């Protein structure tokens, strides 16, 4: 299984489970993540924690089976009004750093290395540009333009990480934070997060483009699309369901 899903009281722990690939996200895993978080959002669970099995959180996109990475991004590939904590250790590379960036809280093992090397790979989704709205501008540019790694402690210093833990303690600490939040009033947490996302954090051009890809994908995978094509081939009037 590419994902491991556990419940801890009102907290759902979702773990990337491809340690042999440093939890790189392939096409199937991207769909699985989108579905898992959509199911979490629709459930009675209060807080989600995202972690990775093995020594690394995630090495980004699997270059042997490139995913539609936008499917993995909170607020883009899936709506999530509830708190999301990312708990990385080891490598947090490329799109994985964007996932951490788009989360609400980051609890990092002291082993964590945040790394965005795409300027030196010749490709990018561009959503990392939002980093400049979340940490000091010059540090964000250093990460993007120089491919400069951020250690867990440096990430904490610049405000990207909430707490640095001893090796192997990041998930348990994240679950403790989640348990505390799960006892808060859900509607109040929801409105805090909603106000921040709507009025404080900017939506950049790459995020807008990803949202367009998401919306078009809904049409491409809909029953109505299949019905429309079938009706065209069968020369009949289509019967649409709005699904």
Q: For residue range 88-117, list pLDDT tens digits in order.
A: 999 999 999 999 999 999 999 999 999 999
For residues 42 and 78, the answer to whether their CB atoms sit within 8 Å is: no
C-alpha 163/C-alpha 220 separation (Å) is: 41
What length does the chain have?
243
Quick one: pLDDT band at residue 149, thresholds 50, 70, 90?
A: very high
Which domains are present in the chain? 3-186 (3.90.226.10), 203-243 (no CATH)
**Dihedral of the alpha carbons of 212, 63, 31, 76, in degrees to the nearest 10:** -30
Hunting for tokens 């990092």 — which residue is that? Answer: 108
3-class DSSP state of 8: strand
Asked whether the beta carbons of 99 and 75 are under 8 A apart, the reply is no
Contact 1, 15 (CB under 8 A): no
pTM exceeding the 0.75 threshold for the entire prediction:
yes
């Amino acid at each position: 299984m590419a994902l491991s899903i556990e419940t801890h009281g009102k907290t759902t722990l979702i773990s990337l489970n491809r340690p042999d690939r440093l939890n790189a996200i392939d096409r199937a895993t991207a769909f699985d993540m989108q579905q898992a978080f959509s199911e979490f959002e629709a459930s009675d669970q209060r807080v989600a924690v995202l972690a990775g099995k093995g020594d690394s959180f995630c090495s980004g996109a699997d270059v042997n089976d490139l995913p539609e990475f936008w499917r993995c991004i909170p607020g883009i590939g899936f709506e999530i009004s509830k708190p999301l904590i990312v708990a990385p250790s080891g490598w947090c590379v490329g799109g994985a750093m964007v996932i951490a960036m788009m989360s609400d809280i980051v609890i990092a093992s002291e082993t964590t290395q945040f790394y965005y090397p795409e300027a030196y790979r010749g490709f990018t989704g561009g959503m990392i540009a939002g980093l400049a709205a979340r940490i000091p501008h010059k540090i964000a540019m250093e990460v993007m333009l120089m491919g400069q790694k951020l250690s867990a402690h440096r990430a904490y210093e610049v405000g990207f990480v909430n707490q640095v833990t001893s090796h192997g303690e990041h998930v348990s600490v994240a679950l403790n934070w989640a348990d505390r939040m799960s006892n808060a009033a859900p509607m109040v947490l929801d409105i805090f997060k909603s106000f921040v996302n709507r009025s404080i954090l900017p939506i950049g051009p790459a995020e807008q483009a990803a949202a367009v890809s998401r919306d078009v994908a809904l049409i491409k995978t809909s029953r109505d699309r299949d019905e429309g094509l079938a009706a065209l081939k069968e020369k009949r009037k289509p019967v649409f369901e709005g699904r």
